[in-house]
Amino acid sequence: MASDPLIGTVLGPCRIEEFLSRGGMGNVYRGRHLALDREVALKIIEPPMVNGEQVISNVVREARASAKLEHPRVVQVYDVGQQGPYCYIVLQLARGETLERLLARRRFLNAPEALRIMKDVLAGLAAAHGLGIVHRDIKPGNVMVDDDGSARIMDFGISGAVGADAQAAGTVDFMAPEQAYGAAPDPRTDLYACGVVYYHMLTGKLPYPSQNPQEAMLQHRDAPIPDIRDTDPSVTTFAAALISRLMAKTPDARPATADEVLKALESPEMLEENQEAAAAAGREAALPPPPPVSPRMAVVPTAMSQAIFVAIALLAFGRQWLDAVHADWLAGGVVCALLLAAGYLSDRRGWRKKTAAAALFVCMCLSFYKFGLPGRWNWVPAAAPSMEVFILLGLGLAAAMGSLWEGVFDEESRSLELSLWLLLGAVAGLGIGGACLRLSGSSMPWLAGMRELLVGEFRSFAATHGVWRWTGVAFLYAGSWVFFPKRHATVQKVEGRVIGYA
């Protein structure tokens, strides 16, 4: 930022020399403290922010809170003041980059690197908590990683004293459930954020990815505690159980102090699967116990329930299928697409869902293709379709495959909105392509032929009670999930230890 007007000017006791980074409330510069003749960092709050007394109060509180912490794992504060329209904090200049930038560059860290950073962060928090200070915004952007790989905590801008007035503050992706809903400052909220940061460092992902802050808050409060080893099987049992303990939904289920977590981090089982040796050495007590959780009831139709509704649907609607017409293939393709959309929106994972979605995909494509053939049993066109028909069918098939991939198979960057739009395009492409396949070789104009085909198929469908045929299918699908359910609690375990319910 060579054009920055502040560079080269003197602000308070310092001369500003270089722009370093931009934060949520202002910029950070490298400067030189003129009286001490040493390089420092200056956090300068932008003028529009300074006009509010609350902002100035927060800045002063951050400086005073940080100044109390004379610890090597906390970025030191030297001075705070206001000059003209600018409010500034003079900080220790830490060489390196934020953990946020490091993860953006490398995506995730190996286990020894992540463990070292967590030890440093917990050491800094232990010092802060010992003085009655809760950071309340532990996140990768507030952890500075030095050139030698050690870490320091910075930015106590929203810190609070233990037991101070409650207020919702922090970053929602790393915020403890009770903190998001305005609980009073508690050291265990910082420990929850440490669990999320540790998970993020090892996997490169957030434990609760979300589209908006409200969704993130609800997931931190209600969603099951994720098993980190589902994403990274190399994480040890010890580390996985500790992360789950840190991310417990209630403060009482988490470690009581940062020192307790530090003790667990120093255990050799953090990096090596050596549980038997740990137990023999009497170190098992260092592993925090699993958080208490309440079972979540999963509703699954029993085989008896499904059999009853199959029988009911056959008795009530079976005769209607004797009058099935060609338009039922079109309806079948649409129904398969709706079931695919329902599968995309569900939370189920694994090969059972993938297999079912792939089967629906095949049925959808075959249904639209069969709709495009004139005869009941003719699976091959009598004459080669035109190139335009091939293009339409190809585009529809490509959109369907892309929808299936985005909605089910691509778990790394799953995009529901894109998958649903692609599914809509697939239905349109395959439906119109099938209709054009029927019209291949016809001498009628395309628009008139399409109109006559669709009107004729709709009249045939309505005259043979097609609505009742497909009402039976909907009744069968929905009813078996509503009546005669089997309810059971599903537990999530790590090496036999219950760490949450899924």
Catalytic residues: 137
Displacement of CA 268 from its chain's centroid (Å): 31
* Angle (nearest 5°) at CA 344 between 340 and 350: 105
Distance (Å, whole) CA 196 – CA 137: 12
Of how many residues is the chain composed?
502
* Residue that has been written with the tokens 């951050």 in this structure: 62
With beta carbons less than 8 A apart as the criterion, state whether 466 and 328 touch. Answer: yes
Instruction: Give one DSSP letter per residue of 72-108, joined into a string.
Output: TTB--EEEEEEETTEEEEEEE---EEEHHHHHHHHSS
Sorted by sequence, the CB contacts under 8 Å of residue 191 that are 6+ apart come out as: 125, 246, 254, 255, 258, 261
Distance (Å, whole) CA 439 – CA 419: 30
Distance (Å, whole) CA 255 – CA 99: 24
In 3D, which of 11, 199, 3, 167 has the Cα closest to residue 89? 11
Bridge-based pairing state of the strands 151-153 and 143-146 = antiparallel
Displacement of CA 97 from its chain's centroid (Å): 25
* Helix, strand, or coil (residue 9): coil
Which stretch of DSSP H or E encloses residue 318? none
